[in-house]
A and B are shown apart, each in its own frame.
Chain A
């Protein structure tokens, strides 16, 4: 009896120790992020103004703005999502619903998993050789969009497959039993049911892409650029223009990096402000993903 009490007390102690340890580990992450964000806000808050968003970079810190970086980031992300989302979702549907299970499809699956672990700088080097020079796209928005699309494609594919797999087998069998083709089953059942899950994965992938610097430096994002790409909608026929795709560009993380390395402390404040904008964007994207996930869980019942 006495022995048993002691044994129970001992296990409780171990349990308590792990409880405390776990709490400490959790708070390390949270405190770091809170400190980082707090520090940036304190440093950069008074730089954030309308002018900050609507000005070009300048040699005077107080006149510096993030307009070309903001537009550059936006356009690059636009190209990236246009490519990565349809290709990624289609590939996932094919792998999960169409492809026969054999050594070849397992090989492809293995490769996709591995691609997700390739360091982003490698994508940059590959894109420099293939996209910039071989495809002849140059150091342009299109090249940057393609590079980031390739970078996040494995994430989109994996997330989509997870979402598809969470749909019970019976749904598929029921649809097929009614005489639906595979595509009808995918179009009317699988896609609508898994859309929230897919959207979550896509947004998390995009929020990774928005902060990427390394591959864009290798393909030649610029540091000083005081003009915007040509607008996609023109006042004369044919009204639509795709010239912006071949325009040189810069993006937010590169602008931050440039300002941080300047000698003048005032530039470090500008860098902090731009970093806050970048973090807020990322957090917004991530919380959208969280809301979508929550809705997905509560909405669907079979």
Chain B
């Protein structure tokens, strides 16, 4: 054997490199960030490359909202996917680096609270009942459905939710418990929402929460719980998200565009394409698009290159679509 075989191994390596087709250096749009926003950006990137017949390259990474902003603030990316608005520290860092950005809401995600399909007793939950269940004080104490509401049966309560690195977790704890990341710790946590779906579908006493897309794909295995925030029980749907009644559990998703990158035609073209096509693509990947006029406002903001965030010093909890475009932009 010996040298001959090694040469053979090496030629496999060479052959693999030859498979790569002949492409010269091309304009590239670099995107990274939230895994929640990823399916939206992936869909747009796919269509964009098709429309441009491969003359512009688009790369999309998944580093999480925080990880994406880190790269964005090092000027490694042109666009950052974010499932929450930019944080104060990130905003300060952008200012230090002299980075101007344009904040564009692109779609809505409705956090869905779900139970096992055989759960006949829950017809809705109020936000205060959710707080009772998920607050840090509930740890080890609220362990049975009958403790949640006196009419509920004597059935052990098992909880499923995203882990603490997730933007979904940050948002849910902020609007339900009142403080980001304040949650009981004795629940089954996973960064993979499919694990949560599995868990809820196999346990009669289960209660869980995650993004709407994961409910839609698993309707036959889990049951949606309408949420009452004081105005009667509401189920998440395109209508209830648009008219603002599925509040506070619907949240906007964003892309942040580096204003300097917009001087490059490929980036400008991509972002315009994004806002043109996202309404139709969002539905395909299981998200709720913004109303039409919201996209018009977003396009206006892009056209006028209005930089800054409206979330300076206050949180996004329960923000309405109008507010996304009315607030003062901070730079």
What chain B residues lie within 8 Å of A295 (beta carbons)? 1
B16–A260 CB distance below 8 A: no
Least CB separation from B19: chain A residue: A71
B173: A residues at CB distance < 8 A: none
> Roughly how many angstroms separate A173 CA and B25 CA in the complex, as a whole number?
56
Cα A238 to Cα B25 in complex, Å, equals 16
Bound complex: CA of A75 vs CA of B45, how far in Å? 24
Cβ distance A217 to chain B, nearest Cβ, rounded Å: 8
Q: How far is the CA of A299 from the CA of B5 in the complex (A)?
A: 15
Considering only residues 220-264 of chain A, those with a C-beta below 8 Å from chain B are: 220-235, 243-244, 248, 258, 260-264
- Quick check: is B300 within 8 A (CB to CB) of the other chain? no
Whole-angstrom distance between the Cβ of B49 and the nearest chain A Cβ: 5
Q: Is residue A41 within 8 Å, beta carbon to beta carbon, of the partner chain?
A: no
Residues on A with beta carbons closer than 8 Å to the beta carbon of B92: none
Q: Is the CB of B59 within 8 A of A231?
A: no
B192 lies within 8 A of A260 (CB): yes
Contact present for B1 and A78 (CB under 8 Å): no
- Does B286 interact with chain A (Cβ within 8 Å)? yes
Q: How many residues of B contact A (CB 8 A)?
A: 56
Q: Mark A258-291, 1 if CB is under 8 A from B, else 0.
A: 1011111100100000000000000000000000
CB-CB under 8 A from A263, the residues of chain B are 193-194, 197, 211, 213-214, 216-218, 286
- In this complex, the member of B17, B57, B63, B71 whose beta carbon has the largest number of chain A beta carbons within 10 angstroms is B17
Contact string against A for B residues 195-220, beta-carbon threshold 8 Å, 1 for contact and 0 otherwise: 00100000000000001011011100
A71-B13 Cα distance, complex, nearest whole Å: 10
**B326 contacts A by Cβ under 8 Å:** no
What 0/1 pattern do residues 196 to 224 of A give for CB contact below 8 A with B?
10010000000000000000000011111
- Tell me whether B59 and A224 are in contact (CB under 8 A): yes
Total chain A interface residues with beta-carbon distance under 8 A:
46
B19 touches A234 (CB 8 A): no
A208 to chain B, nearest CB (A): 16
Query: A75 CB to closest chain B CB, in angstroms?
Result: 6
Chain A nearest CB: distance from B67 CB in Å? 10
Contact A227 B57 (CB under 8 A): yes
Check if A229 sits within 8 Å of B59, measured CB to CB. no
Instruction: Check if B319 is an interface residue, CB within 8 A of chain A.
Output: no
Chain B residues, Cβ within 8 Å of A195: 1-3, 6
Q: From residue B159, how far is it (CB to closest CB) to chain A in Å?
A: 20
Which residue of A has the minimal Cβ distance to B191? A261
State whether the Cβ of A192 lies closer than 8 Å to any Cβ in chain B.
yes
Residues of A within 8 Å of B18, CB to CB, are 231-233
Q: Tell whether B24 is near chain A: CB-to-CB under 8 Å.
A: yes
Q: Are A74 and B286 in contact (CB under 8 A)?
A: no
A300 to chain B minimum Cβ distance, whole angstroms, is: 11
Specify which chain B residues have a CB less than 8 angstroms from the CB of A229 in the assembled complex: 20, 23
A58 CB–B CB distance under 8 Å: yes
Is the Cβ of A230 less than 8 Å from the Cβ of B1?
no
A264 touches B217 (CB 8 A): yes
Query: Quick check: is A5 within 8 A (CB to CB) of the other chain?
Result: no
B residues 5-39 in Cβ contact with A at 8 Å: 5-6, 9-10, 13-14, 16-26, 28, 30, 32, 35, 38-39
Chain B residue with Cβ nearest A234: B22
Given A81-B13, A192-B2, A196-B1, A244 and B61 touching (CB < 8 A)?
no
Also in contact, A223 and B1, with CB within 8 A (given A71-B16, A78-B16, A228-B23): no
Contact partner, B16, options A75, A199, A224, A264, Cβ 8 Å: A75
User: Min CB distance, B236 to chain A, in Å?
Assistant: 14
Which residues does chain A contribute within 8 Å of B54, judged by CB atoms? 226-227
Contact residue among B17, B28, B285 (Cβ-Cβ distance under 8 Å from A74): B17
Is the pair A226, B45 in contact by a Cβ cutoff of 8 Å? yes
A284 to chain B, nearest CB (A): 11
In the complex, are the beta carbons of A260 and B194 less than 8 A apart? yes
Name B217's closest neighbour in chain A (CB-CB).
A263
Nearest CB of B to A149, in Å: 13
Is residue A292 within 8 Å, beta carbon to beta carbon, of the partner chain?
yes
The answer to whether A230 touches B16, judged by C-beta atoms less than 8 angstroms apart, is: no
CA distance A57 to B17 in the complex (A): 20
CB<8 Å pairs between A and B, sample of 21:
A59-B39, A59-B42, A59-B46, A59-B284, A71-B16, A74-B16, A82-B13, A195-B1, A220-B71, A222-B60, A223-B38, A223-B42, A224-B38, A224-B59, A226-B45, A226-B58, A229-B20, A230-B23, A261-B35, A262-B39, A263-B286
10 tightest A-B CB contacts, nearest first: A74-B16, A224-B60, A78-B13, A263-B217, A59-B43, A263-B214, A222-B61, A231-B22, A263-B213, A228-B20
- Give 7 new A-B contacts, CB below 8 A, not counting A221-B61, A231-B22, A263-B193: A59-B42, A77-B13, A220-B61, A222-B32, A231-B17, A264-B217, A295-B1
